[in-house]
Amino acid sequence: MHWGMLIDLRKCVGCYACTVACQNENELPFGMQYCKVSKVGPIGDYPNLTSYNIPIGCMHCEDAPCVDGCPTGASYHREDGIVAIDPDKCVGCQFCMVVCPYGVRQMNEKTGAVEKCSMCFTRLEEGMVTRCVETCQLQARHVGDLDDPDSEIVKLIRKNNAQPLYSHLGTKPSIYYIMP
């Protein structure tokens, strides 16, 4: 079992519904976002211009620098592939924030612990999908088992040649993107 996510950038319209739903789900303070949506472009040369939106959250890397670098074991890999944080073990050294190539980790000033997307593992354990997948009206997001070759997410990844972001960094992310 290895949870992963597929985001179809052809469908994402940048409505920020996933960002807000995530903030509600995790009761985040103002200004904290586990799932940012960035606007890319316009890129290219006239008349061949394109513009798209890209949601970026924790990539739940298999070879996660944050997990390797965490001195206390607060950042850890669950058996289902999700990178999680144990807030009781986090001392706030921020090394994970320094080494994360995607810049998705944030310090919660109230708790003094580093936080990030947990891929709603409690919801997944209860048989539900993540809050962002549930919220996305355009069904641009899919969550599923990357280890199961017959799962919908794996079929979509193969069919659309979806790729993780910056795979050359060697962190083996579990979040795939269908590029526009």
Q: How far is CA 37 from the centre of its chain?
A: 11
Write the DSSP string, 146-164. TT-TTSHHHHHHHHHT-EE
Question: Which residues in 102-161 contact other proteins (CB under 8 A)?
Answer: 102-103, 107, 112-113
Residue 164 near other proteins by CB under 8 A: no
Q: How far apart are CA 146 and CA 17, in angstroms?
A: 25
Q: Is 73 in the site for other proteins (CB under 8 A)?
A: yes
- The span of 51-59, 118-126, 132-140, 150-158 binding other proteins (CB under 8 A) equals 51-59
Which residues on adjacent β-strands are paired with residue 106? 115
20 near other proteins, rule: CB under 8 A: no
47 preceded by cis ω (within 30°)? yes
Q: Which stretch binds other proteins (CB under 8 A): 52-60, 126-134, 136-144, 150-158?
A: 52-60
Instruction: State which of residues 6, 18, 100, 117 lies at the interface with other proteins (CB under 8 A).
Output: 100
* Of 50-58, 115-123, 131-139, 144-152: span binding other proteins (CB under 8 A): 50-58
* Closer CB to other proteins, 60 or 144, in the complex: 60
Q: Which is nearer to other proteins, 138 or 166 (CB)?
A: 166
In sequence order, what are the residues at sequence separation of 6 or more whose Cβ sits closer than 8 angstroms to the Cβ of residue 126?
none
Asked if residue 95 binds other proteins (CB under 8 A), the reply is yes
Dihedral angle computed from the Cα positions of residues 61, 144, 76 and 98, in that order, rounded to the nearest 10 degrees: 40
136 is written with which tokens?
């996305």
* Chain CA centroid to CA 161, Å: 19
Q: What are phi and psi of 165, to 5 degrees?
A: -80, 130
- Only segment of 61-69, 121-129, 146-154, 156-164 that touches other proteins (CB under 8 A): 61-69
Interaction site with other proteins (CB under 8 A): 30-31, 38-40, 53-54, 56, 65, 68-74, 89-95, 97-103, 107, 112-113, 165-166, 169-171
